[in-house]
């Protein structure tokens, strides 16, 4: 049988799912052409990274395994406690018990492109997703912590099914009857909280991009409302916008 061209093998590797890599390596490991040897080495590196990710995700399910007696385990996290503008957004996510989504992590550790990609996967595969938010006026009225709790309660209320337990990133939410487990740095320790952090972050970032279209002078699309030098300069130049948090920007005016 005629040998495959090296370019064809390279394309085959590019198209291969991670689960197909062992078969790919087995198929071409006896081919001693220098180009093919190099491609097989690339496949082995990819396989090694994939196996490392499988191990990491299994560790990320430790809390979910601990509370496996609960039917619906919900992760809760927020995005936007620190910015000078825009809402604080909370995500609540219930993943299936056999969840096989890879690369979930604390949203801050992921690129914007990866967060967007995972957002779509989580929305497709989750049992339920809820999003809540509190706007700048509400943050000024009741303070950022209470506004965060309010957004979290709203996110929980929007879930299609009632959770049996809440795994929260660091906080205990007042006014919630469901049992809660606060986990410090939970978005990097629980797959459910990590998923919630991605939903909250992507939802908020998309909203700030929309605000940028209405008020481009503030640069919301780039800094997402956080206190960058560019943002502070814009506040001093143009004054506060309707989405600025008055209690956060008083020192800059």
State pLDDT tens for residues 58-69.
999 999 999 999
CA angle 138, 139, 141 (to 5 degrees): 60
Residues 112 and 25 in one domain: no
Rounded CA gap, 127 and 159, in Å?
9
Binned at pLDDT 50, 70 and 90, residue 43 comes out as very high
Average pLDDT over residues 1-26: 88
Residues 149 and 128 in one domain: yes
Residues 162 and 202 in one domain: yes
With respect to residue 153, please indicate whether it lies within any of the assigned structural domains: yes
Residues 21 and 146 in one domain: no
Specify the CATH number for the domain of residue 159.
3.30.420.10
What is the reported pLDDT for 2? 65
With respect to residue 112, please indicate whether it lies within any of the assigned structural domains: yes
Output the average pLDDT for the chain: 95
With respect to residue 178, please indicate whether it lies within any of the assigned structural domains: yes
By CB neighbour count within 10 A (0-12 exposed, 13-18 middle, 19+ buried), where does 152 fall?
Answer: buried
Q: What is the pTM of this model?
A: 0.90
Per the CB < 8 A criterion, the answer to whether 201 and 90 are in contact is no
Which among 206, 225, 242 is the end of a domain? 206
DSSP SS3 for 245:
coil
With respect to residue 221, please indicate whether it lies within any of the assigned structural domains: no
Residues 53 and 78 in one domain: no
pLDDT at 153 over 70: yes
With respect to residue 148, please indicate whether it lies within any of the assigned structural domains: yes
- Provide the CA 202 distance to its chain's centre, in angstroms: 7
Residues 34 and 146 in one domain: no
Rounded CA gap, 139 and 136, in Å?
5
Angle between helices 6-15 and 34-60 (to 10 degrees): 10
What residues have CB less than 8 Å from 21, skipping those under 6 apart?
Answer: 43, 46, 47, 50
pLDDT at 1 over 60: no
Average pLDDT over residues 222-237: 97
Q: Using CA atoms of 237, 241, 245, 249 in order, give the dihedral in degrees to the nearest 10.
A: 10
Rounded CA gap, 33 and 39, in Å?
10
Residues 141 and 157 in one domain: yes
Distances (CA, A) of 14 to 6, 54, 103, 246: 12, 20, 19, 51
Residues 160 and 35 in one domain: no
Per the CB < 8 A criterion, the answer to whether 217 and 129 are in contact is no
Q: How many domains does the chain have?
A: 2
**pLDDT tens-digit series, residues 183-220:** 999 999 999 999 999 999 999 999 999 999 999 999 99
**pLDDT tens-digit series, residues 93-118:** 999 998 989 999 989 899 999 999 99
With respect to residue 50, please indicate whether it lies within any of the assigned structural domains: yes
pLDDT at 28 over 70: yes
Question: What percent of the chain lies above the pLDDT cut of 90?
Answer: 91
Residues 179 and 120 in one domain: yes
Per the CB < 8 A criterion, the answer to whether 50 and 18 are in contact is yes
Q: In the β-sheet with 73-79, what is the strand arrangement from edge to edge? A: 128-134, 88-94, 73-79, 165-169, 180-183
DSSP state of 174: T
By CB neighbour count within 10 A (0-12 exposed, 13-18 middle, 19+ buried), where does 232 fall?
Answer: middle
> Which residue range forms the structural domain that includes residue 22?
6-60
Residues 112 and 126 in one domain: yes
* Cα torsion 208, 159, 128, 109: sign: positive
Residues 173 and 100 in one domain: yes
Residues 122 and 172 in one domain: yes
With respect to residue 243, please indicate whether it lies within any of the assigned structural domains: no
Comparing CA positions, the residue from 54, 180, 226 lying closest to residue 46 is: 54
What is the reported pLDDT for 11? 93
Binned at pLDDT 50, 70 and 90, residue 234 comes out as very high
With respect to residue 39, please indicate whether it lies within any of the assigned structural domains: yes
């Amino acid at each position: 049988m005629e040998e495959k061209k090296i370019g064809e093998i390279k394309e085959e590797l590019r198209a291969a799912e991670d689960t197909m890599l062992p078969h790919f390596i087995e198929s071409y490991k006896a081919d001693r052409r220098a180009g093919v040897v190099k491609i097989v080495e690339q496949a082995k590196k990819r396989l090694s990274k994939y196996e490392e990710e499988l191990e990491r995700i299994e560790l990320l399910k430790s809390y979910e395994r601990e509370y496996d007696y609960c039917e619906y385990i919900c992760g809760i996290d927020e995005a936007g406690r620190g910015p000078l503008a825009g809402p604080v957004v909370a995500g609540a996510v219930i993943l299936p018990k056999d969840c096989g989504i890879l690369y979930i992590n604390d949203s801050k550790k992921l690129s914007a492109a990866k967060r967007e990609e995972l957002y779509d996967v989580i929305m497709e595969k989750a049992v339920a997703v809820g999003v809540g938010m509190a706007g700048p006026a509400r943050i000024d009225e009741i303070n950022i912590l209470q506004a965060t709790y309010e957004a979290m309660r709203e996110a929980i209320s929007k879930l299609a099914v009632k959770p049996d337990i809440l795994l929260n990133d660091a906080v205990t939410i007042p006014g919630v009857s469901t049992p809660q487990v606060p986990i410090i740095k939970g978005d990097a320790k629980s797959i459910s909280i990590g998923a919630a952090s991605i939903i909250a972050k992507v939802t908020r970032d998309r909203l700030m991009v929309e605000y940028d279209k209405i008020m481009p002078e503030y640069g919301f699309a780039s800094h997402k409302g956080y206190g960058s030098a560019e943002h502070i300069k814009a506040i001093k130049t143009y004054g506060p916008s309707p989405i600025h948090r008055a209690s956060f920007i008083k020192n800059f005016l």
